[in-house]
Amino acid sequence: MNKQIQNLSAVPFQDTVELRNEMIACGLHLRDKLGYFISSWGNISVRVEEGMLVTPSRITYHLIVPEDMVLLSWEGRRLSGNRVPTSECEMHRRLMLERPDVGVWIHHHGPWSSVLAGMGKALPVVADDMAELVGGEVRCAPHVVAGKHLELALAAQKAIGPDAWAVLLANHGVVCGGRNIDEALACCQIVEKSAMMFIFGSLLGGVRVIEEPLWREERERYLFRYGTLEDVKDVLQENTSKQPTLETRPTKTGKT
């Protein structure tokens, strides 16, 4: 792995009302627009300065208010919030600790990733956007019976590996991440699209998998060069006497 990538750390967010509302809006989008959340099944965690902010358990997203979010310490203690945290909070906590480069995790039950989870199959890198944003093969953790929260957390932590911002959970669903909420949401969508490509491609005679050196090159470009003049130097004709100022407008996903 590129040492520059290996040393990445996500910047913690401030725990604000705006952030909590963004988590609620993300959950509603995943449920009502994308269909990845079903009722209260689906949860979100965000790395904040004090620890980890998670969505509450067994409350549908149109009823959640900012005060319902639960703040947990990195040791798993509840620091604030009167609600019960998502039952998969330990999985979120261990994934946060395992992958300091991720600031947000979203666990959902999207249809295409759930097909692969039901088969217990990993998702190879089959698309450029998967190489760039997801960052590698999405491995599949073994099946864990519902309610065995610690066992599920340990299985996901062991399976995720150092590369991809996602891990499949056998017979269950998937967890997708990113440095912020919008990037994690994009990761969810790209994993779903890539799973669909892999499933249909397999039915139609086979899928062209991107080789590891190539997807690692694409990942490095996305993280460090995308959106910069360095990325387009092979096609952009510059006036050497006057270099343009690149206006950088930060986007939540990191892509424009």
Q: What is the pTM of this model?
A: 0.92
Range in 51-55, 113-117, 184-188, 228-232 with the lowest mean pLDDT: 228-232
If DSSP codes are grouped into helix, strand and coil, which group holds residue 225?
coil
Residue extents of the structural domains in the chain: 8-203
- List the 51-54 sheet strands across, edge first: 78-80, 70-72, 51-54, 43-48, 104-108, 173-178, 166-169, 140-141
Q: What is the distance between the alpha carbons of residues 159 and 155, in angstroms, rounded to a whole number?
A: 6
Do 92 and 54 meet the contact criterion of CB atoms below 8 Å apart?
A: yes
Rounded CA-CA distance 217/100 in Å is 21
Contact (CB, 8 A) for 255 and 227:
yes
pLDDT at residue 245 greater than cutoff 90: no
Pairing between strand 104-108 and 78-80? unpaired
Joined tokens for residue 219: 């990942």
Confidence of residue 242 (pLDDT cuts 50, 70, 90): low
Q: What is the pLDDT of residues 81-108, one digit of tens each?
A: 999 999 999 999 999 999 999 999 999 9
CA distance 149 to 94: 11
Give the Cα separation of 188 and 34 in Å (integer): 10
42/36 Cα distance (integer angstroms): 8
Decide if pLDDT at 146 tops 60: yes
* Mean pLDDT over each residue of the chain, to the nearest integer: 93
Average pLDDT rounded to a whole number, residues 56-67:
97
| Fold of the CATH domain 8-203 | L-fuculose-1-phosphate Aldolase (3.40.225)
pLDDT score recorded for residue 244: 54
